[in-house]
Amino acid sequence: MIKTLAGQIKEFKKASILTPVFMILEVLFEMMIPLLMASIIDNGVEKGDIGHICKVGIAMAVLALCGLWAGVMGGKYGARASTGFARNLRRAMYENIQNFSFSNIDKFSTAGLITRLTTDVTNLQMAYQMLLRMFTRAPASLICAMVMAFTINAKLASIYLVAVLVLGTCLVLIMSRATKYFQQVFKKYDELNASVQENITGIRVVKAYVREDYENNKFFKAAENVYRMFIKAENIIVANMPLMMFTVYACILGLSWLGAKMIVVGGLTTGELMSLLTYCMNIMMSLMMLSMIFVMVTMSVASAERVTEVLNEKSDITNPENPVMEVKDGSIVFNHVNFSYKKESSEPVLKDIDLQIHAGETIGIIGGTGSAKSSLVNLISRLYDVSEGRVLVGGIDVREYDLEELRNQVAVVLQKNVLFSGTILDNLRWGDKNATEEECIRACRLACADEFIERMPEKYHTYIEQGGSNVSGGQKQRLCIARALLKKPKILVLDDSTSAVDTATDAKIRRAFAEEIPNTTKLIIAQRISSIRDADRIIVMDNGEVNGFGTHEELLANNAIYRDVYESQTKGGGGDFDEASNQGGEA
């Protein structure tokens, strides 16, 4: 974990080294001041030597200014090192997340990743700054003050040793008890973020069903859990300050009582006692800083583990050593493919899929909910890797291709359509960042998106709100199809991407595909048979297996599931696939 995190210091190593150097210099300058103060009292005040007082006073002022300069420089470089460290952590985590395969992403919740990128990294930033500054300053100050105190009077300085041992033992006990609560509190942060994210994403549904009170209560419970965990930890840590102050005042009383007796018998001077009292405060303040560091480090250990977990997660899908850089055509072969989302799963999601699809064919895919239609097409662009068997595109195993080249040639319009904040042109150019406005307009014509875009006041420069909240579901689907077409892919996958489009527009889109991109292999997942009946061939999926594969007429004649669905949707007034297939199963 430490090695992983330390690897993100990178260009801030110099600042990370200079910070403790300046902090040690600050301590050395400060530790010399009490000695000079003793000299002023013993050799200046008591003897009435004004010249000595002025000379030593100037030296103290110079040391104070040098200490101030060292402290400022330590703060400057410490801030630079810690903020740079946090920046590198966030960048490294974000870049690693971008390289995750779908199976890697499935391991983390969205709320958990957000917490790690924000709260956890902030905790590490604060802890790193404290380690560079206070963790250097506190031990250095403690050691220097102890050495100076023992140099002045070893008998009186032994009081500090007792105080340090007692206080150190108590601090270890406090921190060990508080640690377990800090480790749990960040999991509660995930629940809090999940509640906020879910509510904001689904705010329209919340308002439509008048569930504001329910969502308020759910958020309050998540916030209350964070509050209770912090209260439990803070109730333990709160003993730190009283314990610290008790030790400080006990040391002062002990020093004053014993020191006064020693002054009377002549074993100690007044100036030396004043220096010892000053060093007492330095030692106690060092211990107080150490306790604060322990609190911060205790909190940050849990954050460090969570951040390291993301940084160390390696993508399941990587480029081969010598990748193939060209996809010859859009032919697809599934060669006895089995697939599971998790290696330990006993039952595969896809079972012995054996299919051959020719380049330029239009293939319909139909099946009930959970029949693994989306899982099947996700293997083509290598969003997941097969568990057994092979998937070939253009006659070559997809695992041999360069990932970027493969995914540029396999355009997927997923079930969940996502648009980003920006103009319509900005969103379309996700398909091809160099696309001209004319090319964007042509893609929109193919996807029948030009019909509604032309009615907008600013047309293709209309601003799309985050998530596409200012366009309808059907409009969003057509924009996503146009975006995919701009990639000029050899394979186009439409994963139930026209479900929110009316049947007339759906027919126009299919006709445009047949006329304008005849050489592109088109895979169309649909629930309506009308969307795929004109396809060259149709795959019927059932429980992760291919139940039928053929033309519309062949399946009507030979496949009971397809025939039942067709009859329910034509004679029964447009029935649902799941309902029809269940009726067929009962029959």
Tell which residue, 405, 371, 367, has the closest CA to residue 576. Answer: 367
Q: What is the pLDDT of residue 579?
A: 46
**Distance between CA atoms of residues 353 and 379, nearest Å:** 11
Instruction: Say which DSSP state 460 is in.
Output: G
Q: How many residues does the chain have?
A: 587
Cα(340)–Cα(376) distance, rounded to whole angstroms? 11
**How far apart (Å, rounded) are the C-alpha atoms in residues 466 and 478?**
17
| CA–CA gap between residue 580 and residue 587 (Å, rounded) | 11
Say if residues 540 and 546 touch (Cβ distance below 8 Å): yes
Other beta carbons less than 10 A from residue 159's beta carbon = 21
pLDDT, block means (10 residues), the chain with 587 residues: 82 88 86 77 72 83 89 89 89 84 74 80 85 82 81 81 80 74 71 74 76 82 81 78 79 82 78 78 76 73 82 80 86 89 77 88 84 86 86 89 86 77 84 82 84 84 77 80 83 77 74 78 84 85 86 86 83 51 41
H/E element, 180: helix 154-201
- The 8-class DSSP code of residue 546 comes to E
Q: Which two tokens stand for residue 205?
A: 């549904």
Q: Give, as one character, the DSSP assignment of residue 551.
A: -
Contact 5, 307 (CB under 8 A): yes
Residue 259's contacts (CB-CB under 8 Å, 6 or more residues apart) are 156, 268, 273, 276, 277
| CA–CA gap between residue 5 and residue 212 (Å, rounded) | 41
Amino acid found at 496: D
d(CA 240, CA 288): 8
Beta strands in 249-397, from DSSP E residues, in sequence order = 332-339, 350-357, 362-367, 388-393, 396-397
Residue of 398, 394, 391, 462 whose CA lies nearest to 427: 462
Strand order in the sheet with 350-357: 350-357, 332-339, 388-393, 396-397
The C-alpha R_g of the chain, in whole angstroms, comes to: 36
Reading the block at residue 251, the tokens are: 């040391």
Task: Provide the 10 A C-beta neighbour count for residue 151.
Answer: 12
Both structure tokens of 342: 């998790």
Contact 464, 420 (CB under 8 A): yes
How far apart are the C-alpha atoms of 527 and 524, rounded to whole Å? 10
User: What's residue 264's pLDDT?
Assistant: 80
For β-strands 537-542 and 545-550, DSSP reports them as: antiparallel
pLDDT of the residue at 585: 40
H/E element holding 413? strand 410-413
Task: Write out the two tokens for 134.
Answer: 């206070």
Segment holding 122, helix H or strand E: helix 121-132
DSSP 41-93: IIIIITTT-HHHHHHHHHHHHHHHHHHHHHHHHHHHHHHHHHHHHHHHHHHHH
Integer Cα distance of 168 and 293 in angstroms: 13
Give yes or no for a contact between 391 and 337, defined as CB atoms under 8 angstroms apart. Answer: yes
* Contact of 531 with 510, CB cutoff 8 Å: yes
What is the token pair recorded at 469?
A: 């909240």
- What contacts 251, CB < 8 A, 6 or more positions away? 159, 160, 163, 280, 283, 284
* Paired tokens of 539: 């795959």
Q: What is the DSSP letter of 400?
A: G
Q: What's the token pair of residue 34? A: 């009490």
* 3-state secondary structure at position 145: helix
Pure H helices in 209-239: 212-237
CA distance 274 to 255: 10
Structural domains of the chain in order of their starting residue, each with its CATH number: 2-312 (1.20.1560.10), 332-586 (3.40.50.300)
Contacts of 1 (CB under 8 A, 6+ apart): 304, 305, 308
Residues of 385-394 as b/e, b for ≥16 C-beta within 10 angstroms? ebbebbbbbb
